[in-house]
Amino acid sequence: MKKIAALLLGLALPLSAQVMGAGIDTDPSAMDRSGVIFIEQVLVDPNGDETLEDIPEMIQVINAGDADKDLSGWVLAISQTDGSTSKWTFPQGISLSSGRHLQVYWGTVGEISEAIVHTGPTNLTRLHNDGGDLALFNASNVMEHYVQWAQAGNTHEADAVDAGLWNIGESTPQPKQAEILQYNGSGFSANAWNLLSPQGPTAVEGSTWGAVKTVEHQ
Ligand SMILES: [Ca+2]
């Protein structure tokens, strides 16, 4: 847990919600996408017995935009092997400041702090160690970000491809125990993700969030 907590770079939970301008893009889904909230890190296979309530998987999101962002009603969803979805909704009133990070502890119990939210004692499916995916949707049910590891063809892949957030058939390597999938900001594909050892040096040196901001969605 301490190692996970040490990864936290900062966060705040202020008040306001500000919707980014839609611009002149003609794609309705892209118009509805904020384009500034990203899945930044995913701990798929934590040390210890992940079926226990005190051994969380972890999903970290970042606000790469210039304004605070209300995440009330946003959704994290993973595909299940039977084609269905297991999802968790961000609580009402949660907001992420510009440049800050929020860690979601998946499947564990705990108090909400400025840095961490726990999904609580739910029936959420754990992140599949052998291969799975994770999608982030905004409150309008528009996919904002996506990652797929170790195997392709998960339920959300097709929608992610349609949204310009993934390439069909791609997946990242399988994360080993305690390794973290880290988004490096270089577009929307498996190549935009590195595997980061919690004990090792960063694998994302040189990544720039500015590169993400300049990507034009389809
Ligand atoms: Ca897992």
Distance (Å, whole) CA 133 – CA 155: 8
| Residue-range domain boundaries for the chain | 2-14+36-213
Which two tokens mark 168? 């069909």
Q: Which residues, 6+ apart, have CB-to-CB distance to 206 below 8 Å?
A: none
Report how far ligand 1's centroid is from the alpha carbon of 100 (Å).
Answer: 25
Question: What sign results for the dihedral spanned by CA atoms 82, 84, 89, 95?
Answer: positive
Distance of CA 79 from the midpoint of ligand 1 (Å): 13
Question: How many whole angstroms separate alpha carbon 119 and alpha carbon 112?
Answer: 9
Q: How far is ligand 1, taken at its centre, from the CA of residue 77, in Å?
A: 14
| pLDDT given for residue 19 in this prediction | 31
> Separation of 1 CA from ligand 1 center, angstroms?
15
Question: What pLDDT, on a 0 to 100 scale, did the predictor assign at position 208?
Answer: 32
- Please give the angle made by the CA atoms of 204, 11 and 59, to the nearest 5 degrees: 55
Ligand 1 centroid to 142 CA: how many Å?
25
Q: What is the pLDDT of residue 70?
A: 92
pLDDT per residue of the chain (218 residues) written in tens, 0 to 9: 444 333 333 333 332 222 333 334 445 556 689 999 999 999 999 888 887 777 788 999 999 999 999 999 999 999 988 889 999 999 888 889 888 888 898 887 766 666 677 787 667 888 999 999 999 999 999 999 999 999 999 999 999 999 999 999 999 999 999 999 999 999 999 999 999 887 544 333 333 333 333 223 32
Indicate the fold that domain 2-14+36-213 takes in CATH: Immunoglobulin-like (2.60.40)
Residue with tokens 């390597």: 173
Q: How many whole angstroms from 106 Cα to the centroid of ligand 1?
A: 9
Q: How far is CA 175 from the centre of its chain?
A: 15
Q: Give the pLDDT score at 78.
A: 94
d(CA 105, CA 109): 8
* CA of residue 43 to ligand 1 center, whole Å: 8
Q: How far is CA 3 from CA 58, 104, 143, 195, 208, in A?
A: 12, 15, 30, 16, 24
Give the Å distance between the CA of 47 and the centre of ligand 1.
Answer: 10
C-alpha 164 to ligand 1 mean position (Å): 26
Q: How far is the CA of 13 from the centre of ligand 1 (A)?
A: 27
- pLDDT at res. 92: 86
- Cα of 209 to ligand 1 centre, how many Å? 28
